[in-house]
Amino acid sequence: MPLSKTNATAPKAPGTPASDTLLRQFVGYRVKRANLLIQDDMAKTLEPFGLRTGTFSALAVVISSPGISQSDLSDVLNIKRSGVVVVVDELERAEVLKRKPVKGDRRTNALTVTAAGRRLWDKVEKAVQDHEAALFSGLDPEEIATLHDLLARATKSPKSDLEKEQ
């Protein structure tokens, strides 16, 4: 029975806590709540390394795609190009990425990771793996694989093709 058919519209008795009962019927709401918890813990995990979620993600993509352009990085991360400039500037100042001009196209830079960036990645990748292991410790490996599959399928839906196979 949909939660909206319950007595959720009855006046709240004084002293009773507010409820998100009606919202919990929506998958999107539950995904948002999970994401908030994950992002908060992720920020705490990345902070000792001088990274944020955006810089961590950019570093991962550049390591996976050496020579990627800022424009392509913007597309992969699904963020505005002006946002990529800020992220790349930050990583370049930290000396973990380098911009190299692309021959024949003065407007495009190829992004590459530095040796320091690779060392940073090796440390932060382990920390993020540990972060996820702790967050999802209540799930067995099969459930985690199912969650990966379900999220991949949901983000490949016709309305939100966020999960592009590379």
Query: CA-to-CA distance for 113 and 60, rounded, in angstroms?
Result: 10
Alpha helices by DSSP H, 65-140: 70-77, 81-93, 115-135
| 157 confidence band (pLDDT: 50, 70, 90) | low
pTM of the model: 0.80
Token match 């440390």: residue?
123
Least Cα distance to 61 among 155, 143, 164 occurs for 164
Helices (H) and strands (E) in the chain, counts: 6, 3
| Coarse DSSP helix, strand, coil percentages of the chain, rounded to the nearest 5 percent | 60, 10, 30
d(CA 75, CA 85): 13
| pLDDT, tens digit, 9 for 90 and up, residues 96-139 | 999 998 888 878 889 999 999 999 999 999 999 999 999 999 99
